[in-house]
């Protein structure tokens, strides 16, 4: 096997694949990339048995073959080479040589037949999604995923495939984030799948936005995302996601319309004096005004006032300030609407003009 290509052309796909490879491995071959050359096409594969990433590039001076090469070392070498270098990689008996200008590196390899192949996808659904739409859906919701929760089905992102829409939903039991995109050619039948945390974070790194379309292939146990230069596959979480529609408050008819940036800045300032453990702030609502109050065990206090379009009189409700700030950061419009029912019920935070992106935050007793 042999190929040659500019450093810049190799670096991006190499980084995409190396990101998937875990530093600590049970099998030595999992620390390696599977490198395959057919014709003038190079493909590199990395996996941790949960997530698999295949990246492709066009190469010159190619001789076919395949082997596995230490992922981290190859990436560090290519990254450290000077801009504009031309990288040539050639395979010997159980070694590969990487050359660029006056630099030469010899790396140990492992046989390609030891590299684990991902299971065949039992295809149940295939849809096409604009890359920008999927990127936005993940960005607006992924922050609300649980981390290492015993309710394992919360440690991931729900993709709710519908006939003419795709929804992403995440919750950690204390707050919920939902975002929806219209898909003219949606799923044949409604289907819900849960993508695990690592799969979500890796996919988020890959997506660049723009006008291109992605192909999503849903299998019984896997999700595969395809674009010309990469194929990303992740196992799915085998579990049932909670009925998130039941969590979205009904009858929260008390509304507060407020400038998003003004509210965000006020919350950030008040948070400085909030209790470090509970991160609680109290929102006191009166006609035309939203007051934010924070206390801590040292008896210190912060008070902020923000103009608000509301008719609510004399209502106070506590929240974790981090949850409010993350919900506001996921919204885009200048004005946001907070829907409240009473001091003991969850709040619904959304953009003033639409409910495509919705955030539910549970109250905190202060």
Buried b (16+ CB within 10 A) or exposed e, 212-229: ebbebbbbeebbbbbbee
Query: Are 287 and 355 in the same domain?
Result: yes
Number of domains in the chain: 3
Q: What angle do CA 137, 143, 148 make, to 5 degrees?
A: 125
pLDDT, residue 342, reads 94
**Residue at which a domain ends, from 54, 84, 114:** 114
216 and 293 housed in the same domain: no
pLDDT reported for residue 338: 98
Mark whether 235 and 256 lie in a shared domain: no
Task: For CA atoms 141, 146, 147, 152, give the dihedral sign.
Answer: negative
**What pLDDT, on the 0 to 100 scale, is given for residue 211?**
86
Q: How far apart are CA 197 and CA 139, in angstroms?
A: 13
Is the residue at 278 inside a domain?
yes
pTM for the full predicted model: 0.92
- How far is Cα 317 from Cα 331, in angstroms, rounded to an integer? 22
Is the domain of 144 the same as that of 71?
Answer: no
Q: What is the spatial distance between Cα 357 and Cα 360, in angstroms, rounded to a whole number?
A: 10
Contact, 158 vs 168, CB < 8 A?
Answer: yes
Shared domain check, 256 and 212: no
Tell me the DSSP string of 121-144.
P-EEEEEEEEHHHHHHHHHHHGGG
Query: Does 213 reside within a domain?
Result: yes
Mean pLDDT by groups of 10 residues along the chain of 366 residues: 96 95 88 96 95 96 96 97 96 95 97 86 91 96 96 97 94 97 86 96 92 93 94 96 94 95 98 95 97 96 98 96 98 97 96 96 92
pLDDT at 117: 81
Task: Give yes or no: residues 252 and 241 share one domain.
Answer: no
Q: What is the Cα–Cα distance from 53 to 58, expressed in whole angstroms?
A: 17
Q: Is residue 236 part of a domain?
A: yes
Same domain, 348 and 277: yes
Together in a domain, 228 and 308: no
81 lies in the same domain as 150: no
Domain that holds residue 326: 248-361
Alpha carbon distance 107, 118 (integer Å): 25
Give me the pLDDT at residue 98, please.
98
Q: What are phi and psi of 17, to 5 degrees?
A: -75, -40
Last residue of a domain, one of 57, 83, 114: 114
């Amino acid at each position: 096997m042999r190929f040659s290509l500019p450093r810049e052309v190799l670096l991006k796909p190499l980084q995409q694949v190396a990101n998937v490879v875990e530093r600590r491995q049970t099998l030595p071959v999992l620390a390696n990339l599977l490198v395959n050359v057919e014709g003038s096409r190079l493909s590199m594969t990395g996996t941790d048995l949960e997530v698999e990433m295949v990246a492709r590039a066009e190469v010159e001076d190619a001789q076919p073959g395949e082997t596995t090469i230490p992922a981290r070392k190859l990436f560090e070498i290519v990254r450290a080479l000077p801009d504009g270098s031309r990288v040539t990689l050639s395979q010997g008996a159980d070694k590969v040589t990487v050359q660029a200008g006056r630099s030469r590196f010899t790396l140990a390899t492992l046989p390609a037949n030891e590299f684990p192949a991902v299971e065949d996808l039992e295809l149940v659904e295939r849809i096409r999604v604009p890359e920008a739409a999927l990127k936005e859906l993940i960005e607006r919701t992924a922050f609300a995923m649980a981390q290492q929760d015993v309710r394992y089905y919360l440690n991931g992102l729900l993709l709710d495939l519908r006939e003419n829409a795709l929804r992403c939903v995440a919750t950690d039991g204390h707050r919920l984030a939902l975002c929806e995109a219209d898909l003219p050619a949606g799923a044949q039948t409604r289907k819900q799948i849960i993508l695990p945390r690592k799969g979500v974070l890796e996919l988020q790194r890959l997506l660049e936005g723009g006008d291109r379309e992605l192909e999503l292939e849903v299998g019984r146990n896997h999700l595969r995302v395809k674009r010309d230069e990469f194929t990303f596959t992740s196992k799915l979480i085998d579990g049932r996601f909670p009925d998130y529609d039941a969590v979205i408050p009904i009858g929260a008819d008390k509304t507060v319309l407020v400038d998003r940036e003004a509210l965000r800045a006020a919350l950030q300032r008040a948070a400085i004096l909030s209790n470090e453990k509970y991160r609680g702030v109290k929102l006191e609502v009166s006609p035309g005004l939203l007051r934010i109050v924070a206390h801590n065990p040292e008896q210190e206090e912060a008070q902020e006032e923000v103009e608000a379009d509301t008719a609510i009189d004399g209502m106070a409700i506590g929240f974790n300030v981090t949850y409010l700030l993350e919900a506001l950061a996921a919204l885009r419009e200048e004005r946001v609407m907070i829907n409240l029912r009473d001091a003991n019920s969850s709040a619904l935070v959304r953009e003033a003009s639409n409910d495509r992106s919705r955030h539910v935050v549970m109250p905190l007793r202060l």
